Amino acid sequence: MTEPVSSQSLVIDNIGLLVTNDPALGRGPLGIVSNASVVIVDGKVASVGPAGAVADQCIDADQACVLPGFVDSHTHLVFAGDRSEEFTARMAGSPYDGGGIRTTTYATRNTPTDELDRLVRLRLLEAHRAGTTTIEIKSGYGLNVADEARSLQIAKAHTPESTFLGAHLLPAEFEGRSDDYIHLVCGEMLHAAAPNAKWVDAFCETGAFDVDQCQAVLDAGRAAGLGLRLHGNQLGHGPGVQLAVECGCASVDHCTYLTDHDIAALAGSDTVATFLPAADFSTRQPYPDARRVIDAGVTVALASNCNPGSSYTTSISFCIALAVRDMHMTIDEAIQAVTVGGAAALRRDDVGRLTPGSAGHAVILDAPTYHHLAYRPGVPLIRHTIGPLGT
Ligand code: NIG
């Protein structure tokens, strides 16, 4: 069940355990308050206090746990088609190399815009039901000027966090001419995409684009006024993390293979390391060593990476369970990574927390504590998502 935020005041009352992410409001880094209420006015948190606050409208949390809405900082929701056969083959031993991006590009190019938009809406509804209230959406399955531009029109209609990923994979028609394709991405394609994009991204990986090509895309995106993000170190060690840090990217995403040098570079920067454990799950990659990264002082985020190839899930709860079980993050760290961590990856300070002035985006669990998100994997524990998706 979902609740819109009205222009009137709303109180979430009778909260057993509230995560604010504001240490000034409560215990520890999560700013935990027991027996609490949150008042939301015009979509923003007006106050956090003891249970019993009064407002025009009341949602009784019935002693359940309440968290900030999840911030999913990495998705590829604009796509058509299905790659379940590729997944099935992978489970039988075929490796993942990203080549299936071309399959999705073919399907996406051949799908009418209104149908693509309908598919994105369905995925957003699914994500919202699963507790996500802020979401980033990339292009990257158009890979020509017209289809990248329309992918971004669709993305921008649903979220301010839209990302131009023309440098996702070399399209078949440019085989053997990757520099020509990068020239197109940095010129005509960027020009068509930029009006509907906030960010630019590139896939820096063997089999995708090399460090010079990715640097060219980031430089061109910056010159066009876009913020920078990068896919890096997903399928093996490589220069992605170093490039992201040197360029001042807001986030470098995947980070499955990191050297000590990569971790030191991240620790000395304000680039967020975004882990995508559902992709490592679905591609049978090892999980990143998040413990080592967090202990070095790096800011980390966890995101779904929803896409039809490497990670067909919108479930942030699933990512939390993987991060705790297989990446050795504490449950508190995982909760931070899907709220304030995701917000940091998007350079936002208005979401991912429940503190006066922040967005009134909240999740009411069907559980007394947030620990259940890892303790009860696969169980739909999101009772209410409060706040619209796409702000
Ligand atoms: O983030 N790594 C590149 N892009 C996606 C995969 C896309 C696909 O396989 O379709 C990712 O995992």
Give the model confidence (pLDDT) of 114-148 as tens digits. 999 999 999 999 999 999 999 999 999 999 999 99
Which residue's CA is the nearest one to ligand 1's atom 8? 309
**Mean per-residue pLDDT, 100-111:** 97
The residue whose CB lies within 8 Å of the most ligand 1 atoms, and thus the one to mutate among 102, 168, 230, is 168
Q: State the closest ligand 1 atom to the C-alpha of 254, by its place in the atom list counted from 1.
A: 1
Task: Please give the structure tokens belonging to residue 253.
Answer: 């995403």
What pLDDT sits at residue 3?
52
H-state helical runs in the chain: 84-91, 101-109, 113-129, 145-158, 178-184, 190-193, 211-223, 240-247, 260-267, 277-283, 290-295, 316-326, 331-337, 340-345, 372-375
Angle of CA points 245, 277, 262, to nearest 5°? 25
Residue range(s) in the chain whose domain bears CATH number 3.20.20.140: 71-345
Residue owning the nearest CA to atom 5 of ligand 1: 310
The predicted pLDDT at position 5 comes to: 46
State the residue for tokens 């909260």.
Answer: 15
In CATH, 71-345 is 2.60.40.650: no
Taken in order 188, 189, 194, 199, the sign of the CA dihedral is negative
Element of type H or E holding 165: strand 161-167
What CA–CA distance (Å, rounded) separates 109 from 96?
Answer: 23
Structure tokens at 9: 């005041």
Residue 24 confidence (pLDDT) above 60: yes
- As given in the structure block, the two tokens for residue 114 are 């209104």
Per-residue model confidence (pLDDT) at position 389 = 82
Domain with CATH 2.30.40.10 in the chain: 2-68+352-386
Atom 6 of ligand 1 has which residue's CA nearest to it? 310
How many A from CA of 113 to the centre of ligand 1? 22
Q: How far is CA 293 from CA 270, 319, 368, 371, in A?
A: 14, 17, 30, 22
| Cβ neighbours of residue 169 closer than 8 Å, sequence gap 6 or more | 98, 99, 101, 102, 105, 140, 143, 203, 208
- Cβ–ligand 1 contact at 278 (below 6 Å): no
Instruction: Specify the DSSP class assigned to residue 194.
Output: G
DSSP 187: I
Per-residue DSSP letter, 303: -
Are 262 and 229 within 8 A, CB to CB? no
Q: What is the pLDDT of residue 118?
A: 98
Q: Which tens digits make up the pLDDT trace of 287-325?
A: 999 999 999 999 999 999 999 999 999 999 999 999 999
User: Cβ contacts of residue 102 below 8 Å, gap of 6+?
Assistant: 169, 171, 172
pLDDT class of 391 with cuts at 50, 70, 90: low
Q: Is 100 in the pocket of ligand 1 (CB under 6 A)?
A: yes
Residue 76: DSSP 8-state: -
**309 CB less than 6 Å from ligand 1?**
yes
CATH code linked to domain 2-68+352-386:
2.30.40.10
Task: Kindly tell me if the per-residue pLDDT of 6 is higher than 60.
Answer: no
72, 74, 75, 76, best to mutate for ligand 1 pocket (most atoms within 8 Å of CB): 76
